[in-house]
Copies of this chain bind each other. A is one copy, B any other.
């Protein structure tokens, strides 16, 4: 608990929105000295924003040579960030990063490297931006055995789906709006296809369950096929639609089940009320039950709070309480069993329900209800079949068989229905 005598020497790589916010905040802290910034583009410092002298470089070797105590990595992407982090740790320099891809893929290896060299690797900003959920799980719930995780981890998807819900906008209109407002990238695949949320889920899983899985082994489904019809039917079922990331592990703590994709969520549930770029994470422990963590998941200032809090923790010599041992798992099961929403858009004719029902019955999938809103032409009529809890693999297998039938005018869509804590739907 004793303060260091000299301020912590910090070097920063990356000078975009988050990097600038971090630099501003670090320079207000007395325990910290921001000595150098690596900017791969031209070193542009907003005039008057900073009082202290800061050295500029475009070389990682130069940066690490400034006798750093902490290297803050904010360049994003795996390459060259992973190598830069390794280089710092090997020199005994602690690292603070916001990099979800690096941590999701190589987190356990890098944490071991940090331990080996007697320094720290902190990454609170890599999941849920300004919400200190990693610290809460890794430290505050260390005395529990976690069995389930669920979250809304991508603000872009949440913005798009909220717009579709509110105005009946199509996916493409809502996406264009998000792009125009700067909430979505020109190439939005990382967000809408679930790759961003999947990396965050992999990090939550290794902190919460101590299971490290290949990121690509986690199923990710796009929100692009969701239509305004789906919101209409969802509302009839007391639900809305959100991109949900879920993971659970079995009692032996060797098997991980995880998936990211659009899902029906009850209008009563906290997930339904997450708006705009907010994030929410729900954690279920055997002893403590469900705890929730919410707040801004993106943006320069909230993300900078997480980065600077990690730097201050090192300045105060607080050591991280990350679990030291992870179990590597090669395969990840798809989402746990859940009730499902299946939406078909068909050229109507007799026999369609009979054909669907036969395929579902062959896979032991039980139909709960069939819903059909009036007012659609028989040439493109959407209807919905709800399904009693079934494993994702059975549902997607049946859907592949159903796709082969000749009456579709749009690809069928299967969405899990999230009704309660993640563990209550574990098979």
Q: Which A residues are within 8 Å of any B CB, using their own CB?
A: 1-3, 21, 25, 29, 114-115, 118, 120, 124, 130-132, 135-136, 139-144, 270, 273, 285, 287-296, 301-302, 304-313, 316-322, 324
Contacts and interface: CB of A to CB of B under 8 A. Distances in A.
11 contacts: A1-B118, A132-B140, A136-B136, A139-B139, A143-B310, A143-B311, A270-B273, A287-B304, A288-B295, A291-B293, A318-B318
B312 A143 contact: yes
Contacts of A21: 287
Given A316-B319, A320-B1, A309 B25 contact: no
Given A3-B324, A321-B318, A144 B287 contact: no
A324 to B, nearest CB: 7
B317 A142 contact: no
Given A143-B309, A309-B140, A319-B318, A295 B287 contact: no
A289 B295 contact: yes
Contacts of A313: 139, 142, 321
Contacts of A130: 144, 285, 287-289, 291
Contact of A135 (B3, B140, B308, B320): B140
Question: How many chain copies does the complex carry?
Answer: 2
Contacts of A114: 1
A1 B324 contact: yes
Nearest to A144: B305
A236 B143 CA distance: 44
Given A135-B139, A135-B140, A143-B309, A287 B316 contact: no
A309 B132 contact: no
A161 B211 CA distance: 42
B140 A124 contact: yes
In this complex, the member of A29, A285, A291 whose beta carbon has the largest number of chain B beta carbons within 10 angstroms is A291
A164 B321 CA distance: 43
Contacts of A309: 139-144
Nearest to A145: B28
A305 B1 CA distance: 24
Contact of A302 (B118, B135, B287, B301): B287
A306 B136 contact: no
A287 B311 contact: no
Given A139-B313, A288-B296, A291-B296, 10 more contacts: A130-B144, A130-B288, A131-B140, A132-B135, A132-B139, A135-B139, A142-B313, A292-B295, A312-B321, A318-B321
A30 to B, nearest CB: 12
A291 B287 contact: no
B306 A287 contact: no
Nearest to A1: B115
Contacts of A319: 1, 316-319
A286 to B, nearest CB: 8
A305 B286 CA distance: 10
A307 B317 CA distance: 22
Nearest to A316: B321
A306 B301 CA distance: 30
Nearest to A131: B291
A1 B117 CA distance: 10
A422 to B, nearest CB: 14
A296 B285 CA distance: 11
Contacts of A141: 132, 305, 309
Contacts of A316: 319, 321
A292 B294 contact: yes
A291 B25 CA distance: 19
Contacts of A135: 132, 135-136, 139-140
Contacts of A295: 288-292
Nearest to A25: B143
A310 B312 CA distance: 20
